Amino acid sequence: MTGLTGHPFETGLDKSAANFAPLTPVSFLARAAGSFGASLAIIDGERRITYADLYRRCRRLASALGRRGVGRLDTVAILASNIPEMIEAHFAVPMLGGVLNPLNTRLDAATLAFSLRHGEAKVLIVDRDHAPLVAQVVALLDEPPLMIDVPAPSAATAIPGAVDYETFLSEGDPDYAWPGPDDEWQSLCLLYTSGTTGDPKGAVYSHRGAYLQALGNAVTFGVSQDSVYLWTLPMFHCSGWSYPWAIVAAGGTQVCLRKVEPARIFRLIAEHGVTHLCGAPILLSMLVHAPPEDRVPFRQTVRCATGGAAPTSTILRAMEAMGFAVTHLYGATETYGPGTACVKGADDLTEAERYGRMARQGVALTTVEDLMVMDPATRAPIPRDGRTIGEIAMRGNTVMKGYLKNPDATGRTLAGGWYHSGDLAVWHPDGTVEIKDRAKDIIISGGENISSLEVEEVLSRHPAVMLAAVVARPDATWGETPCAFIELRPDGPGATETELVAFCREHLARFKVPKTIVFGPLPKTATGKIQKFVLRAQAQAI
């Protein structure tokens, strides 16, 4: 360091193998296998995998990939449900120094083909359940990557031209001496965002970021060696919010789930003593509205983390009644998933105050360096008054390195040394942030700002409403007015437009009440978020 040459604290105190190693989440598995190798790492139906077995399998996969020509910073893509092989890929590819690209199983073939070309994948690991989709993808590629076929219970026919997964593993060395990263800033994962316009952007994660995010999640969510984590969150989404690494870091057990079905979720929770699960708000809604015959009682309290739009008080109350303790998180693909968490408030809150606080996005995770709600124009922090609206920004080791091959988008998103979320929020005196809307979702009616989230919260309290989404609709007089799209509960009392408008007038200022209400199924993204850009287009056409 300048000015410190020759200083006693800078002389003879050098980095060596004894006191420094690049941070990598792969080390979590090496430790787990050495410390409690006989402990159960993964449950998948009747299948059981111990930590010792998991480590051997991951080393075989890494070794086999290397023998097939995959090297440092080469991309290995995987298209799979929440199966053990997806967990194995999250350790084996980084072991080799490669970059893992988990692909969204719910995207169309053209988008997946773009991702494979853009990321230059040399290998594609495929869950056979998705063979028809892969056939469409391969038809769009001039040079398909080496394909590895993972058998699935419901798909008997092998993928043409692909190597069987277990056969491929047999090519590898179970004692492979994995090199790990040359530097902890080395790229580890490539995650494509599901953008609403243009081509997807590929967020790049580092070994250091993944290591710290995993630990931050484990601390925030209270994960330990006794934890049993059920995979209700897609592992392709932000690498499962880094939980493939976080659960291994703690030495817990992961329970795989190919398809999110309420009846199966309740059964697995009871059967395996599940303690933790994550998911988008749509998951909570599915559990709450599951018919009585699908519900299996369980004794333990299950910690449930959810991201996306804040859960409504109705959903929170129903989840608690079933035995779930809900934690609201906030983040993005660009922040390795969760960047903030809503921590417990004071004990003397009323029920309404408690649910209101639980819906906040909360405070920064331990491993996030800094969180701010800023004035978008000046990038100065806004007052912590709970009223002034600004943009959420974060910075630290758990912010992506940037977008692959997209310096312009990287520069805009990471401008001024901050990750700019595009989410508008207020900052409370206690340091918690509360999202009011996406910048593009604020409705400006007659010069007044209307939070679509506020209107949705009120609509969701109606006993007939299962899901509500509110967007702006052009209005000749007011510029914009709220337009509500409603998905009714199949077993509910039903509701008319007149009834819902009257209900809103009881709980909202008159200018915030929707002028238009549309009934029907709501379009959702691959991760269960409501596609407001689709609804905005529909509102424009009404």
Q: Using alpha carbons only, what angle is made at residue 198 by residues 403 and 78, rounded to the nearest 5 degrees?
A: 55
Show which of 438, 465, 496 is a domain's final residue.
438
Could you tell me if 284 and 147 lie in one domain?
no
Residue 228 lies in a domain: no
pLDDT of residue 84: 98
Distance CA(236)–CA(251), nearest Å, equals 22
Residue 17 lies in a domain: no
Distance CA(373)–CA(381), nearest Å, equals 6
Q: What are phi and psi of 353, to 5 degrees?
A: -65, -40
Could you tell me if 69 and 194 lie in one domain?
yes
Could you tell me if 518 and 390 lie in one domain?
no
Residue 230 lies in a domain: no
Query: Residues 26, 211: contact at Cβ < 8 Å?
Result: no
Residue 315 lies in a domain: yes
Distance CA(398)–CA(178), nearest Å, equals 24
Could you tell me if 384 and 361 lie in one domain?
yes
Distances (CA, A) of 282 to 145, 310, 524, 537: 34, 11, 9, 22
Could you tell me if 370 and 313 lie in one domain?
yes
State both tokens at 158: 């092998």
Model confidence pLDDT, tens digit, residues 313-322? 888 899 999 9
State both tokens at 304: 């449930």
Residue 78: which of 22, 180, 146, 25 has the closest Cα? 146
Residue 9 lies in a domain: no
Could you tell me if 51 and 167 lie in one domain?
yes
pLDDT of residue 1: 47
Range of the domain at 170: 26-208
Give me the CATH number covering residue 465.
3.30.300.30
Distance CA(231)–CA(219), nearest Å, equals 18
Determine whether 189 is exposed, middle or buried from the number of CB atoms within 10 Å of its CB (0-12, 13-18, 19+). buried
Residue 19 lies in a domain: no
Give me the CATH number covering residue 190.
3.40.50.12780
3-state secondary structure of 65: helix
Show which of 423, 438, 453 is a domain's final residue.
438
State both tokens at 4: 């410190």
Q: What percent of the chain has pLDDT over 90?
A: 75
Query: Residues 338, 329: contact at Cβ < 8 Å?
Result: yes
Could you tell me if 203 and 81 lie in one domain?
yes
Could you tell me if 423 and 448 lie in one domain?
no
Could you tell me if 55 and 173 lie in one domain?
yes
Counting the structural domains of the chain, the total is 3
Show which of 381, 412, 438 is a domain's final residue.
438
Residues, the chain, total? 542
Question: What pTM was computed for the model?
Answer: 0.85
Could you tell me if 71 and 199 lie in one domain?
yes
Could you tell me if 419 and 496 lie in one domain?
no
Could you tell me if 318 and 302 lie in one domain?
yes
Residue 510 lies in a domain: yes
Residue 16 lies in a domain: no
Residues of the chain with pLDDT under 70: 1-4, 194-198, 309, 345-346, 439, 446-449, 526-527
